[in-house]
Amino acid sequence: MVLYFVGLGLADEKDITVRGLEAVRKCKRVYLEAYTSILLVPKKQLEAFYGRDVIIADREMVETAADDILADANHVDVAFLVVGDPFGATTHTDLQLRAHALGIETKVIHNASIMNAVGCCGLQLYRFGEAVSIVFFTDEWRPDSFYDRILANRQQGLHTLCLLDIKVKEPSMESLARGKPVYQPPRYMTVNQAVEQLLEIEEHRQQNAYGPDTFCVGLSRVGADSQQMQAGPMRDLLHAELGAPLHSFVIVGQMHPIEAEMMESLTSKISMSPESSSHA
């Protein structure tokens, strides 16, 4: 019997591969990892298409109750579904290692992730450096450790894919202090919020990793019919209107002439908000 790690792609229930769908339909239990990314359709839509009930696996289950996922997986087939690719933006090697320790066979069925689909904006994938994650600031915590990686990429002329924070089933600090977690509404970082935080960090660090005039690309709902992209100076993307989540962001490095032509084409097609147009 097998524990399948199945990539779902980026948009909806039909982005799963044929091989992935065949695996899911023969599994006794199907889990959906639901804290590192989201699909743009509800769980019931997946269940109708896959022909299987889907169990939501939040961070707490995956990190502290993995035994529930692995239970009987050496006797029945189990699927662990991941938006994008199973080992794309985040890895689930810990669950895989636990399965191996129990003698459970694992198989990985790959799919598109933002790590390769970002090429839709016209920037060449082999010209990207290390990706970084941008997390929500709080009053007490304003992390900037990723800044050094952006700086290193820029010094080498490489593009930087910024993966923007999502908060799903996050307990409030007050409720944790009381010993009874109360979960906050989901939050998804926008390109606008990411740019605002990035500019604040640059103002503090002042090492010229980027600035208001740095050319960037904002993307939303990559892979969906409603996909949007806007390109331009970072200051303009403070006011970009990219709609519903999920958003991603690219800080552009040195461009190949073909990339520059693609960026010029993209910039000429974007529709900026009235407020951002005033900066042009």
The helix or strand, by DSSP H or E, that contains position 29, with its residue range, turns out to be strand 29-33
Q: Would you say 164 is a known binding-site residue?
A: yes
Q: Would you say 204 is a known binding-site residue?
A: no
Contact (Cβ atoms closer than 8 angstroms) between residue 198 and residue 168 = no
Q: Would you say 256 is a known binding-site residue?
A: no
CA separation, residue 91 to residues 7, 68, 119, 169 (Å): 12, 19, 21, 20
Contacts of 41 (CB under 8 A, 6+ apart): 11, 12, 13
Under DSSP, the state recorded for 246 is P
CA-CA distance, 125 to 95, in Å (whole number)?
29
Q: Would you say 163 is a known binding-site residue?
A: no
Torsion of CA 9, 12, 13, 17, to 10 degrees: -30
CA-CA distance, 71 to 114, in Å (whole number)?
31
Q: Would you say 113 is a known binding-site residue?
A: yes
CA-CA distance, 88 to 8, in Å (whole number)?
11
Query: What residues are designated binding site for S-adenosyl-L-methionine?
Result: 10, 85, 88, 113-114, 164, 222, 247
Binding residues: 10, 85, 88, 113-114, 164, 222, 247
